[in-house]
């Protein structure tokens, strides 16, 4: 950590900061510049609160040098984490995993029918929302537990593991029992109580990036889960909020090589929510594979114009199948299977 | 609602959309343009899902004309909502309410001491965090229930109502019993389960704007609370996330006249979290008063450099008092007291 | 164009708007809704100024249905534009063009040496900056005309066409004579005087997207060039400014399918400026090819740590060659050569 | 400047960086941390290019401690700059200057009529656009030199200095002769050729912040003008581009105290372009005065619904007068006149 002191800081001011830091078992080096004096703090600086140090009115600025995350940091854990979901492995350098299914579970018949179609198209897992975070209180809020039961039945029929979004702590037991991958949605990425509770399970967690969260904040949320004892974290980029409104969000594919460099966790891409437009999903999926993603999660519906939510971004099963076929060729080029 | 059809849409395509909409009890008018055909949908369009209509591949775009919120809409509720907090009124055209206190409750002695100082300085209410949403799992997470007890004791000593952040549904009973204004933090603005649960209480709710949420999304979250039956919503702007990093966030003061125009709810400003820098708090507070804010919520700490969180943005009691004195003069100019 | 009138608008207010619009030769249809009255305007609405109509205080909002651009619009020009640069074709469905070279021309020896290396690696064209837009007045501003001469000599030696940035109208004659593709940088994307002047040449123009410009604004800038009579416009995405600071900018690859859908112009990608980090360039280049880009423009320097500008984002020739080799395989998969 | 070296850097790597820096006359201090080695560079680091140093693949990151601007820096020039415009002083602690007028000059009669109205309302100076930067090539581009002549006549009639936007270097002589304050628009804030040319004049320059430029970039553009020899720079905030679309841009009033702290230059606010909505202009103007702005530039038109551009954001003269009257009371409260 680098602390820059104002020129007006007296020796007493400097000493006061130094003794505060040293009292925490850290070591301080000082560099005298022309306009400022600078402290370099050596040791485990994750225990220091930057904002409190900045509160000293003789401090100009505080900058971190080391990352504030430890368990997700590749520096301390060089080999790739591979998350095992009922025998399907996410992460590593082999298979690219494809998760398909509707935005919302609409009933047993619908989810069983679509499950078969996505399996036939080549998907590895089934997604479907039972509890839906909706901007409007007047919009369809999901089938709830009945939806989870419908997913479980579809799993029995197809053998595919199921992925569904969990929105609150009081549903954890239900999800641990019935769902294979627990998804934390973008709006809950910093619902820390939920993250802590998920850290105490050993279930695979699909942690979506918040729509306005930095990569560092995202990794800190993963750190919450890992710090609780659960190493099975899968990161998922689903677009960030920018000034551009042509797409619903802006898909940030550069996170793929960044996440690979900074962490050992697998990273998958959700082109459906990122773009909000099915016409863009195939191009972004192929791009994600080329850039090194470990998986894709894609919305598929056989009657998008009748879907109860998010029809505009859903692919029909036929197009989904074509996407997988094209994707496989690119996967092979980058040395992986799909 | 305006639906623009692609030029390639056939009469059959047009008829299919029309019959879908009319089946929901709405009426359709059609305008034939040079490049597109346009439908105007008349009736209560909040029941239509824009995304599902866009899923039709003959639809070019869908645009709302009416706002999707009803209960918070000034159109249907012209007079100002005034939230009564133990006799102190927030909203309307009279008093501007000032809430002061530390970021975190650090113990009984600290909160009681600061409570007396902020009261002496002229504050109306006391703020303090007992449950803290922290980016890092390794940072101080708040004193929890003990902190709530400390706040209640400080309330007894000073007579000031207390404001504290609630982070999860399972703490609602505790907050309803002990806290006067329940704050929903920026990270939980779209924690819809929490909003629904708060809608079933009749407690004043301070709803902070999410750091990357639009005004419309913010109002939809207020709609969740009101739709549940709780009319006591106070909106709070605390800065939005932008490309500019000199300040922690960018305080968007233009929301004050916008909120006054669009809704009947009171709006208060949090310059401390918005700027992240105590040196900017006074200027932004005076600006907020001049722009018509109904209140201010400001972090105050007597030893910011020792605060357990967010010291950099805390005012010392002496500066807080000066701020209130300057603010009063501007409040008088805009026809209010403070 | 859709004009929504406030409920408080009287018949006289409505008539006044109608007669204003009809006086311009356009036709108006009216839809009476429950909360608002809505006008649909039929005809060439590009002649109407939205802001002026919104100035009427009985107008709630104004929305465009048709795009405001004509010459760049694929609706009126369905076949792909192919820009011919000394026999090399950019656009269409065949070759993906690769442009490589240093950020700045640093002298004859440097540019000739690097030109040979990028050609050997497989590049089609040479890039190099002679006039440099620098944030700081104290930074290296480019070699100016001498740099252009150095580029021309490198072109003679390698046969590769040259691409360089033009920053002001008074250099147009110089560039038309000596440079093959005139690049308009991100900061000048809305330097309308420059765009107008380039519209009067018939040179290929590489129009970079402004770092905070919408897709529509970008296409309107292309429209300026085409409206002036120059059809040879190549669009270039180079990242947009967002809240995320890990990368210099956020590369928005979804523009590739969007640009292909909305316009007939070729689109190339600049992963070097977008990410600001050479370690991310290869992954983003492969992703761009998979997503359908018509070309890549990449910074290459044989001694990045000694480059006079932007060394951090430059690839060494060896890595650049590897990138092209990998890219070719993906190009083949998507049915193109490289 | 702080340079963080990767843990994998060898002693030879460290020595190579040190000798490069020392060869430029700067001094290096080293701090050995647990995960990284850190260099502190002492001396005038504005001569170092951060990007080139980052190009070294043993360098983890480079951070500046000192600001990269010198002439605009309050550290080296503590007293306020006061720009004298025909006897009217902008900056310092006394008068708040008000500039009013239409977006575009539409002819002699219009500008003379509005000039008298804004003067009567209490304005100090007249604004009007003669050369207009328009997104669309089909929109009104301004009257050009005829507009400048109209402004000069209005100046003769009212005695008010005139402010108009300059878009290109070839108009500098015309503007120096006829215009009192030369405005650089947001889109040209990084048109460095224009900034350099304006630096060679001694005219007051109104430098608008680019809609997506950081405070630091804005100050670097001011540095370009001052480095050329022209000290008469007035900064103008006019809103930044964010995800929020309710307003045209987001007015960032926190820049007022920041600019006052970082620089000695005057800062004025343009609430008309920032909000794009006349209904928000008064509240934002009063807020700006309360926050310490040195002036306001406001669009005024007596028939906004007929204005040739930007009618939606123009105040009528009567409302403009009311705004000035309210503003004066707040100006007095903050110890200034208006």
Q: C192 and C319 share a domain?
A: yes
Q: B297 and B320 share a domain?
A: yes
Q: According to the model, what pLDDT value does residue D17 have?
A: 86
Q: Which two tokens stand for residue A12?
A: 């007493």
C-alpha distance from D214 to closest chain C C-alpha (Å): 10
Q: According to the model, what pLDDT value does residue B53 have?
A: 84
State yes or no: pLDDT of D33 exceeds 80. no
Q: Which of B108, B316, D262, B240 is nearest to A55 (CA)?
A: B316
Q: Which of B114, B105, B162 is nearest to B301 (CA)?
A: B114
Q: B188 and B59 share a domain?
A: no
Q: B189 and B53 share a domain?
A: no
Q: What is the pLDDT along chain C (338 residues), one digit of tens a residue?
A: 888 888 788 888 888 888 888 888 888 887 776 667 788 888 888 778 777 888 787 888 888 877 889 999 998 899 999 999 999 999 999 999 999 999 999 999 999 999 999 999 999 999 999 999 999 998 889 999 999 999 999 999 999 999 999 999 999 999 999 999 999 999 999 999 999 999 999 999 999 999 999 999 999 999 999 999 999 999 999 999 999 999 999 999 999 999 999 999 999 999 999 999 999 999 999 999 999 999 999 999 998 877 777 778 899 999 999 999 999 999 998 999 99
Interface chains of chain B (3 or more CB pairs under 8 Å): A, C, D
Q: D42 and D93 share a domain?
A: no
Q: According to the model, what pLDDT value does residue C35 have?
A: 67
Closest CB from D40, D75, D241 relative to A31? D40
Angle CA(D104)–CA(D109)–CA(D110) in degrees, nearest 5?
Answer: 30
Q: According to the model, what pLDDT value does residue C66 have?
A: 76
d(C-alpha D223, C-alpha D128), whole Å: 26
State yes or no: pLDDT of B36 exceeds 80. no
Task: Average the pLDDT over each of A271-275, C66-70, D273-277 and give the range with the smallest value.
Answer: C66-70
Q: C54 and C87 share a domain?
A: no
Among residues of chain A, what percentage have pLDDT more than 90? 74
C-alpha distance from D267 to closest chain B C-alpha (Å): 14
CATH of the domain at A17: 3.30.70.1140
Interface chains of chain A (3 or more CB pairs under 8 Å): B, C, D
- Cβ partners under 8 Å of residue B68, min gap 6: A136, A138, B46, B216, B220
Q: B46 and B135 share a domain?
A: no
d(C-alpha D303, C-alpha D311), whole Å: 8
| Confidence band, pLDDT 50/70/90 cuts, at residue D34 | low
d(C-alpha A311, C-alpha B52), whole Å: 4
What pLDDT digit, counting tens, does each position of D40-55 carry? 888 888 778 777 888 7
How many CB atoms are located within 10 Å of the residue D58 CB? 17
Higher pLDDT, A17 or A150: A150
Q: According to the model, what pLDDT value does residue B303 have?
A: 87
By C-alpha distance, the chain D residue nearest A60 is D65
Q: According to the model, what pLDDT value does residue B98 have?
A: 98
Closest CB from A244, A253, A280 relative to C287? A253
By C-alpha distance, the chain B residue nearest D256 is B283
Q: According to the model, what pLDDT value does residue B35 have?
A: 67
3-state secondary structure of B227: helix
In terms of DSSP bridges, do strands D295-299 and D97-101 run parallel, antiparallel, or are they unpaired? Answer: parallel
Q: Which of A327, A90, A169 is nearest to C333 (CA)?
A: A327
What pLDDT digit, counting tens, does each position of B128-153 carry? 999 999 999 988 899 999 999 999 99
Q: According to the model, what pLDDT value does residue C102 have?
A: 95
d(C-alpha B50, C-alpha B37), whole Å: 17
Long-range CB contacts for residues C156-161, cutoff 8 Å, separation at least 24: C157/C112, C157/C115, C157/C116, C158/C115, C158/C116, C158/C119, C158/C126, C159/C119, C160/C115, C160/C118, C160/C119, C160/C123, C160/C124, C160/C125, C160/C126, C161/C85, C161/C86, C161/C88, C161/C124, C161/C125, C161/C126
Q: A262 and A185 share a domain?
A: yes
Q: C182 and C201 share a domain?
A: yes
Q: Is residue D180 in some structural domain? A: yes
State yes or no: pLDDT of D315 exceeds 90. yes
Say if residue D291 is exposed, middle or buried (CB neighbours under 10 Å; 0-12, 13-18, 19+). Answer: buried
pLDDT mean over D27-31: 81
What pLDDT digit, counting tens, does each position of A56-98 carry? 878 888 888 778 899 999 988 999 999 999 999 999 999 999 9
3-state secondary structure of D201: coil
Q: Using a CB-CB distance cutoff of 8 angstroms, which residues of chain A are in contact with residue C291?
A: 283-284, 286-287
d(C-alpha B82, C-alpha B265), whole Å: 8
| CA dist D260 → B280, B310, D211, D227 (Å) | 11, 24, 20, 20
3-state secondary structure of B113: helix
d(C-alpha D167, C-alpha D184), whole Å: 7
Q: Using a CB-CB distance cutoff of 8 angstroms, which residues of chain D are in contact with residue C188?
A: 191
C-alpha distance from C243 to closest chain B C-alpha (Å): 4
Q: Is residue D338 in some structural domain? A: no
Among residues of chain D, what percentage have pLDDT more than 70? 99
Q: Is residue C182 in some structural domain? A: yes
| CA dist C44 → A253, B36, C5, C47, C64 (Å) | 39, 12, 21, 7, 11
Q: Which of B24, D104, A56 is nearest to C51 (CA)?
A: D104
Q: Which of D215, D229, D68, D322 is nearest to D205 (CA)?
A: D229
Supply the mean pLDDT for chain D: 93
Closest CB from A68, A137, A193 relative to B223? A137
| Domain final residue pick, B41, B63, B85 | B63
Q: Which of A103, A100, A149, A87 is nearest to A304 (CA)?
A: A103
Q: Which of A205, A191, A202 is nearest to A230 (CA)?
A: A202
Computed from CA positions of residues D172, D174, D177, D179, in that sequence, does the dihedral angle turn out positive or negative?
Answer: negative
Q: Using a CB-CB distance cutoff of 8 angstroms, which residues of chain A are in contact with residue B314?
A: 55
Task: Average the pLDDT over each of A2-6, A139-143, A315-319, D238-242 and give the range with the smallest value.
Answer: A2-6
| Confidence band, pLDDT 50/70/90 cuts, at residue B273 | very high
Q: Is residue A68 in some structural domain? A: no
d(C-alpha D24, C-alpha D14), whole Å: 16
C-alpha distance from C102 to closest chain A C-alpha (Å): 22
What pLDDT digit, counting tens, does each position of A280-322 carry? 999 999 999 999 999 999 999 998 877 777 778 899 999 999 9
d(C-alpha D106, C-alpha D132), whole Å: 12
Higher pLDDT, D88 or B41: D88
Q: Name B296's bridge partners.
A: B98, B269
Q: Using a CB-CB distance cutoff of 8 angstroms, which residues of chain B are in contact with residue A169?
A: 168-170
DSSP tag of B188: G
Q: Which of B116, B119, B121 is nearest to B327 (CA)?
A: B121
Rounded to two decimals, the ipTM of the complex is 0.92
What pLDDT digit, counting tens, does each position of C284-302 carry? 999 999 999 999 999 999 9
Q: Which two tokens stand for residue D123?
A: 């304005």
C-alpha distance from D21 to closest chain A C-alpha (Å): 15
The answer to whether D272 touches D320, Cβ cutoff 8 Å, is no
* Contact check, Cβ <8 Å, D311/C51: yes
Closest CB from A133, A211, A309 relative to B49? A309
Q: Using a CB-CB distance cutoff of 8 angstroms, which residues of chain C are in contact with residue A288?
A: 287
By C-alpha distance, the chain C residue nearest B28 is C31
Q: According to the model, what pLDDT value does residue B26 have?
A: 87
Q: Using a CB-CB distance cutoff of 8 angstroms, which residues of chain B are in contact with residue A309?
A: 49, 51-52
Higher pLDDT, A39 or B114: B114
Q: According to the model, what pLDDT value does residue D35 have?
A: 67
What pLDDT digit, counting tens, does each position of B277-321 carry? 999 999 999 999 999 999 999 999 998 877 777 778 899 999 999
* Contact check, Cβ <8 Å, B212/A56: no
Closest CB from A7, A66, A243 relative to D36? A66
| Domains: count for chain B | 2
| CA dist A11 → A5, A14, B137, B248, D66 (Å) | 11, 5, 35, 29, 20
End-to-end CA, chain B? 43
Interface chains of chain C (3 or more CB pairs under 8 Å): A, B, D
C-alpha distance from B229 to closest chain A C-alpha (Å): 12
d(C-alpha D210, C-alpha B219), whole Å: 30
By C-alpha distance, the chain D residue nearest B258 is D280
Task: Average the pLDDT over each of A133-147, B192-206, C53-67, C176-190 and give the range with the smallest value.
Answer: C53-67
Q: B13 and B139 share a domain?
A: no
Interface chains of chain D (3 or more CB pairs under 8 Å): A, B, C
By C-alpha distance, the chain C residue nearest B42 is C33
SS3 per-residue string spanning chain A: CEEEECCCCCHHHHHHHHHHHHCCCCEEEEEECCCCEEEEEECCHHHCCHHHHHCCCCEEEEECCCCCCCCCEHHHCCCCCCEEECCEEECCCCECEEEEECCECCCHHHHHHHHHHHHHHCCCEEECECCCCCCCCCCCCCCCHHHHHHHHHHHHHHCCCEEEECCCHHHHHHHHHHCCEEEECHHHCCCHHHHHHHHCCCCCEEEECCCCCCHHHHHHHHHHHHHCCCCCEEEEECCECCCCCCCCCECCCCHHHHHHHHECCCEEECHHHHHCCHHHHHHHHHHHHHHCCCEEEEEECCCHHHCCCCHHHCECHHHHHHHHHHHHHHHHHCCCEC
Computed from CA positions of residues D208, D214, D215, D216, in that sequence, does the dihedral angle turn out positive or negative?
Answer: negative
pLDDT mean over A144-163: 98
Angle CA(C142)–CA(C144)–CA(C150) in degrees, nearest 5?
Answer: 100
How many CB atoms are located within 10 Å of the residue A192 CB? 24
C-alpha distance from D6 to closest chain B C-alpha (Å): 24
Burial B149-175 (b: 16+ CB within 10 A, else e): ebbbebbeebebbbbbbbbbbebbeeb
Among residues of chain D, what percentage have pLDDT more than 90? 74
Q: Name A299's bridge partners.
A: A101
The answer to whether A163 touches A195, Cβ cutoff 8 Å, is no
CATH of the domain at C186: 3.20.20.70
d(C-alpha D301, C-alpha D310), whole Å: 10
State yes or no: pLDDT of B48 exceeds 90. no
* Contact check, Cβ <8 Å, C291/A283: yes
Q: Using a CB-CB distance cutoff of 8 angstroms, which residues of chain B are in contact with residue C243?
A: 212, 241-243
In terms of DSSP bridges, do strands D88-90 and D83-85 run parallel, antiparallel, or are they unpaired? Answer: antiparallel
By C-alpha distance, the chain C residue nearest D58 is C305
What pLDDT digit, counting tens, does each position of A204-253 carry? 999 999 999 999 999 999 999 999 999 999 999 999 999 999 999 999 99
By C-alpha distance, the chain C residue nearest D212 is C212
C-alpha distance from C311 to closest chain D C-alpha (Å): 4
| Domain final residue pick, C63, C87, C107 | C63
d(C-alpha A123, C-alpha A102), whole Å: 13
- Cβ partners under 8 Å of residue B72, min gap 6: B219, B222, B223, B226, B233, B262, B263, B264, B265
What pLDDT digit, counting tens, does each position of B171-184 carry? 999 999 999 999 99
End-to-end CA, chain D? 43
Instruction: Count CA atoms closer than 13 A to B294's CA, side-chain side.
Output: 28
Q: Is residue A266 in some structural domain? A: yes
By C-alpha distance, the chain B residue nearest D292 is B283
| Domain final residue pick, C63, C94, C113 | C63
What pLDDT digit, counting tens, does each position of D159-189 carry? 999 999 999 999 999 999 999 999 999 999 9
Q: C95 and C138 share a domain?
A: yes
d(C-alpha A182, C-alpha A127), whole Å: 10
* Contact check, Cβ <8 Å, B283/D257: yes
| Confidence band, pLDDT 50/70/90 cuts, at residue B122 | very high
Q: Is residue C68 in some structural domain? A: no
Q: B201 and B272 share a domain?
A: yes
> What number of residues does chain A have?
338
3-state secondary structure of C265: coil
Write the Ramachandran bin of D63: left for phi over 0, alpha for psi from -120 to 50, otherwise beta. Answer: beta
Domain extent at residue B109 = 74-333
Q: Is residue B69 in some structural domain? A: no
Q: Is residue D280 in some structural domain? A: yes
Mutate to test the interface with B, among D238, D247, D254 (most CBs of B within 10 A): D254
Closest CB from B31, B44, B241 relative to C40? B31
């Amino acid at each position: 950590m680098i602390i820059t002191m104002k020129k007006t800081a007296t020796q007493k001011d400097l000493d006061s900061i130094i003794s505060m830091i040293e009292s925490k078992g850290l070591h301080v080096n000082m560099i005298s510049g022309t306009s400022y004096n600078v402290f370099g703090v050596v040791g485990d600086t994750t225990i220091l609160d930057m904002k409190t140090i900045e509160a000293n009115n003789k401090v100009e600025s505080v900058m971190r040098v080391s990352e504030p995350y430890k368990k997700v940091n590749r520096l301390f854990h060089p080999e790739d984490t591979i998350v095992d979901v009922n025998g399907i492995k996410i992460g590593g350098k082999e298979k690219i995993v494809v998760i398909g299914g509707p935005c919302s579970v609409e009933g047993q018949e619908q989810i069983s029918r679509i499950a078969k179609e996505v399996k036939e198209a080549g998907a590895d897992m089934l997604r479907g929302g039972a509890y839906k975070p909706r901007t409007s209180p007047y919009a369809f809020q999901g089938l709830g537990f009945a939806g989870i039961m419908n997913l479980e039945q579809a799993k029995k029929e197809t053998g595919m593991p199921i992925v569904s979004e969990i929105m609150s702590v009081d549903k954890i037991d239900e999800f641990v029992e019935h769902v294979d991958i627990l998804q934390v949605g973008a709006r809950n990425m910093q619902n820390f109580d939920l993250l802590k509770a998920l850290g105490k399970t050993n279930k695979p967690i699909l942690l979506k990036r918040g729509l306005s969260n930095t990569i560092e904040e995202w990794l800190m949320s993963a750190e919450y889960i890992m710090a609780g004892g659960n190493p099975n974290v899968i990161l998922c980029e689903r677009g960030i909020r920018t000034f551009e409104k042509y797409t619903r969000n802006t898909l940030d594919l550069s996170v793929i090589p960044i996440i690979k460099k900074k962490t050992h966790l697998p990273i998958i891409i959700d082109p459906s929510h990122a773009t909000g437009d099915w016409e863009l999903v195939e191009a972004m999926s192929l791009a994600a594979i080329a850039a090194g993603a470990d998986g894709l999660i894609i919305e598929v519906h056989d009657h998008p114009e009748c879907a109860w939510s998010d029809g505009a971004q859903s692919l029909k099963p036929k197009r989904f199948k074509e996407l997988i076929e094209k994707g496989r060729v690119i996967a092979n080029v980058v040395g992986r299977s799909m």
